[in-house]
Amino acid sequence: MYQAFLIKYGEIAIKGKNRHVFEDALVRQIKYSLKKADGEFKVTKQQGRIFVHCESDYDFDEVVERLQNVFGIVGICPVLLTDDRGVDALWEDVIGFVKEAYESHDFTFKVNARRARKNFPLNSMEINAAAGEKLLEAFPDLKVDVHKPQENINIEIRENICIYSKIIPGPGGMPVGSAGKAMLLLSGGIDSPVAGHMIAKRGCKIDATYFHAPPYTSERAKQKVIDLAKIVSRYSGPIHLNIVNFTDMQMYIYETCPHDELTIIMRRYMMQIAEHFATEGGSLGLVTGESIGQVASQTMQSLICTNEVCTLPVFRPLVGFDKQEIIERALKIGTYDTSILPYEDCCTIFVAKHPVTKPSLKSIKKSEAKLGDHMKELYEEAIKTTETIIVSEEM
């Protein structure tokens, strides 16, 4: 019955002059989300309304599920779209709609009409009254309740006529691409994919950087990160993923620096390399999956040390979350099962038994000084040999 969906968006509608930027980003993301769906769809923007028109057979649940991944959408309304064929035809359409949309017809309701096209012969109050009456005649068990109706029957008179009642919740947030771009440090763990999802929810496009250490970390560990990026890209759109070969730098740090400081020093280099690619690609900040106190490298003192090497702001969307809360989100967005696959991570291989929990920046810098010019060469080499792939659902 539904040939279209009316897309409701909240937060972005208030953005004044920038409104079209937000709407265009939303339209683009909706198109992206439906590219792989079965069926033909057209997305249109008309008079401050976004519609998804279904131009062939389609799977209702699939389309709704895909739209529920599009940030910026507050509500997804399956609609009956008809041409204006006069007032009597409208009543037939409203009755037909209610008949199809509900299995049993014994609820309380209210009609909400909106006449955006003023040459329609009845005004909204008149449509409300007349449509209500027609529905009561057609379905004797319906009751009108204008204060707390169980169902709102919405009728919008625009170029065409749009009838809907159900509003399926969307994910909220802001459409990706409306808030600049950020560089996600993406590991194979549980946290960073969730951090990426959260930053995308605020409208940021994301690129990602992964550090791997072959042969200590395997091809399968790398594939796991690509798979995680692919899942995140369902929400964020295509992700440029930089895969940095970190082995030589890591080995050299391991040989040269005190082992209790390894993780912090490695992290500092990771941040610098990620910042290099961020700046190169136009990202305005870095994003990590860190949360205060989760492990030794995430105490306040440790975060101060890793942060110190960056010029760009570092966003840590999970900063106040417990592990359990992060796991719940990972399950919800579909990254958890991939994240817990047991492939080794470069940080767990070169890890100290007793890492410092309160590193001092002074001491860290002293250790780093020992790395000397050779580290600069390794750094340049790591950047030069980085492989970049574009990850998207279509891969």
Residues that bind Mg ion (CB under 5 A): 187, 189
Residue 211 interacts with, from ligand ATP, Mg ion, none (CB under 5-8 Å by kind):
ligand ATP
Residue 192 touches ligand ATP, criterion: CB under 6 A: yes
> What are the CA-CA distances from residue 374 to residues 248, 249, 253, 385 (Å)?
11, 10, 11, 17
Phi/psi of residue 314, nearest 5 degrees = -110, 120
Tokens 């319906």 belong to residue: 142
Residue 319 touches ligand ATP, criterion: CB under 6 A: no
> What are the CA-CA distances from residue 35 to residues 21, 165, 333 (Å)?
21, 27, 19
Residue 189 touches ligand ATP, criterion: CB under 6 A: yes
Structural tokens at position 40: 């033909």
Residue 190 touches ligand ATP, criterion: CB under 6 A: yes
Nearer to ligand ATP, 130 or 309 (CB): 309
Q: Nearest distance from residue 119's CB to ligand ATP, in Å?
A: 57
Nearer to Mg ion, 70 or 346 (CB): 346
Phi/psi of residue 389, nearest 5 degrees = -125, 150
Among 54, 81, 155, 347, binds ligand ATP (CB under 6 A): 347
Stretch near ligand ATP under the rule CB under 6 A, chosen from 90-98, 198-206, 233-241, 289-297: 289-297
Residues 6+ apart with CB under 8 A from 267: 297, 302, 305, 306
Among 238, 289, 355, 359, binds ligand ATP (CB under 6 A): 289
Among 295, 309, 351, 383, binds ligand ATP (CB under 6 A): 295
Among 297, 335, 338, 367, binds ligand ATP (CB under 6 A): 297
Q: Contact residues for ligand ATP (CB under 6 A)? A: 185-187, 189-192, 209-211, 270, 288-290, 294-295, 297-298, 345-347
